Structure 1
Amino acid sequence: MFIWTVEAVVAEFDVLVVGDANPDLLLRGDVRPRFGQAEQLLTAADLVLGGSAAITAAGCARLGLRTALLAAVGDDVFGRLVRDELEKRDVTLLAADGRGAPTGLTVVLSEKDDRGMLTLPGTIPALRPADVTGELLARARHVHVASLYLQPELAAGLADIFRNARKIGLTASLDTNWDPDETWESITEILAFTDVFLPNANELKAITGLDETDEAAASLVAGGTTVVMKDGARGARAWWPGGACAAPGRTVDVVDTTGAGDSFNAGFLAARLSGKSIEDAVGWAAVAGSLSTRAAGGTAAQAGPKDLAV
């Protein structure tokens, strides 16, 4: 298992997050649309910072990590919202070429225990492997990639990116998020250079093709990857070469679960990059994911240092 160190290299950033950044339009209330020109009433609507990578980056910065986000963002009203929100949260945006596309947007139809999402990809798939240069990697201690299945060009070169990161002393983590096509193309080559894989239970089973989470995790741990699984209201479970653990979440009044998994990721990364054990980091992740559900959107109620006794 690759060793995480508190100061592995002299770097500008503790973590470089790579992936998607877009607004989320959150709709709550009577949120199951009916065609036939039926009009229904909502109880709330919020336009907030979204994208798995952007929410993770915001959570990392909130927990004290020097954080950069590499994402493609358009020069339009949604892009300006993204830039403004990241600046407010002390995240350095390293904007990649969006290739003329509009900034992406996700509409979230949210209920207390579930949600549906409609996404306009826009600039989200514009990232390419060439955007993640060796010089950029050298500015960070750790690299985290999110929303892999929304970024096919980046995915095609990610194994080489992670391989190069490992050569220069970086650790790497991956959260694929859901595959909208539900084809779940193999990421075996990428996982060979991934220190930590951060799926939820359904993603873990879909990616491995195995029905039991323990068996699915074991199949990845055999290749040297640590698996840290989001386990809903139960908190978290983790498996690594030579060990396993579980951690409970925290009981809260749930308003919205959007971005909870991304805040979970931030809790884990903040703990590990500050020198905590895997067991402690899994505990931080579970609590950070729980606390983020206290408000609408992925960033409004993210955990701060005092919440996790940093």
Structure 2
Amino acid sequence: MARDFDLLVVGDANPDVVLSGAPRGLAYGQREQLVSGGDLVLGGSGAITACGAARLGLRTAFAGRVGDDAAGRFVLDVMAGRGVDVSHCVIGPRPTAMTVVLADGADRAILTSPGCLPDLTVDDVPRGLARHVHVSSYFLQPALAAGLPGFLAGERRGGATTSLDTNDDPAGAWDGVAGVLGEVDVLLPNAAEALAIAARLSQPSGSSAGTAPPAPHPEGVEAAAARLGALGPVVVVKNGGDGALAWERGSLTRAPAVPVEPVDTVGAGDSFDAGFLAARLRGMSLPECLRVAVTCGSLSTQAAGGTAAQPTWKEL
């Protein structure tokens, strides 16, 4: 089947207000506190991944939801300006999601108003559009998550490959992922997410969830990757200062971190995803894909926001 795009990203898009030098303790009671910097930038794992992929030369489309408001127009304008096709993004009546990022050095707190994100379903997503379909922010979009197994299975039958970055689960329950992993070619969690999802999978079926996050699996990130990979996907884990690792058919591959002095780490994991997918769609080996991904994630930290420092393929 002929496909118009290399990559379709399905997921979240929102403005990020990034405040640097944020205090660890917020003073309520209408006290005003000053921070060292502030930026209004494109946010949302899906949106940042799509921009990174387009920057690396992939013909990239984005499918998601925004509101009919200034925030939605900002999001669509920024993505289109970075070469992403946004014609399949639904503009709905509920407001666009909004995020405030409070950054303190390399650490950050993230406050998100989900807005229209829970309204996205697989019925909003075009079929047969791209060679590869990537889904982001599984837990922020429960209606989408419910239909993902069938949707991704259909895309794979049509010849596409698939990937998933669940991102964090604000509820700490980590439920439902096992049901979709059989239709995912590549899973792209960070280390904390891989540990949490693997710990949830190790709990007995039907056990209660949501009251507390599952305890981390005691065997570490490598064992978590193997547990997740046993359900089908290549598991690619972003592991901070230790670089990244990938589990495929019983074998581990590693790539070291790239030493940089970060300006802003917001969106680095999404730029990592874009690099990995761009390399994979170019037919590169797994070790090469890991090296490209780590480098893309590292370079993206050299400016404020998730997209300003994303590299082109030539720069990479």
Task: Tell me the TM-score normalised to structure 1 length.
Answer: 0.93
> Which letter maps to 1:204?
A
1:261 aligns with 2:269: yes
Give the distance between the partners of 2:311 and 2:89, measured in 1 at CA.
28
Cα distance, 1:96 vs. partner?
Answer: 4.2
2:42 is paired with a residue whose SS is strand
Normalised to the residue count of structure 2, the TM-score between the two structures is 0.91
The corresponding residue for 1:25 is 17
SS at match of 2:67: coil
Shift of 1:30: 3.5
* Unmatched tracts of structure 2, length 5 or more: 200-216
1:152 is matched by which residue type in structure 2? Answer: P
Partner of 1:38: 31
Contact 1:197 1:227 in 2 (8 A): yes
Deviation at 1:29, TM superposition (A): 1.8
2:300 pairs with 287, 292, 298, which one?
Answer: 292
- Which residue among 32, 55, 62 is the counterpart of 1:69? 62
CA contact (8 A) 2:68 2:92 kept: no
User: Counterparts in 2 of 1:195-206, with a 5 A limit?
Assistant: 195-206=185-196
Alignment partners' CA distance in 1, 2:231 and 2:45: 26
Q: Equivalents in 2 of 1:215, 1:251: separation in Å?
A: 26
Which residue in the other structure is 1:154 paired with? Answer: 144
In 2, are the aligned partners of 1:98 and 1:123 still within 8 Å (CA)?
A: no
Q: C-alpha distance in 1, partners of 2:310/2:285?
A: 22
Query: What does residue 6 of structure 2 align with?
Result: 14
In structure 2, what is the equivalent of residue 244 of structure 1?
Answer: 252
Residues 71-127 of structure 1, C-alpha deviation per residue, up to 9 Å, x if partnerless?
Answer: 101121111111110111000013444541111110000122210000011122221
Indicate conservation of the 8 Å contact 1:15/1:68, yes or no: yes
CA distance in 1, matches of 2:232, 2:67: 38
Root-mean-square deviation over aligned CA pairs: 1.3
2:135 is equivalent to residue 127 of structure 1? no
Counterpart Cα distance in 1 of 2:163 and 2:127: 13
Give me the whole-angstrom Cα distance separating, in 2, the residues matched to 1:289 and 1:198.
13
Opposite residue 205 of structure 1, the aligned amino acid is L
Deviation string for 1:207-265 (max 9, x for gaps)? 11023111111112222210000011221111111422111232122111100000000
How many angstroms apart in 1 are the aligned matches of 2:315 and 2:251? Answer: 27
Deviation string, structure 1 residues 118-165 (Cα, Å, up to 9, x no partner)? 001112222112122xxx331210000000100000000101111111
Percent identical residues: 52
Does the 8 Å CA contact 2:226/2:250 hold for their aligned counterparts? no
* Alpha-carbon displacement from aligned partner over 1:38-79 (angstroms, at most 9, x marks no partner): 221111110001100000000000000000000101121111
Matched, 1:139 2:132: no
Specify the code of the residue in structure 1 equivalent to 2:18. L
Q: Distance in 2 between matches of 1:111 and 1:304?
A: 28
For residue 59 of structure 1, what is the amino acid of its counterpart?
A: G
Distance in 2 between the 1:220 and 1:91 partners? 31
Quote the Cα distance in structure 2 between the aligned partners of 1:41 and 1:81.
Answer: 26
1:79 corresponds to 2:91: no
1:115 to 99, 108, 117: 108
Gaps of 5+ in 1: 1-8
Cα distance between partner residues in 2 of 1:20 and 1:37: 32
Q: Structure 2 vs 1, CA of residues 197 and 166 (structure 1 numbering), >3 Å: closer, same or farther?
A: same
Equivalent pairs counted in the alignment come to: 297
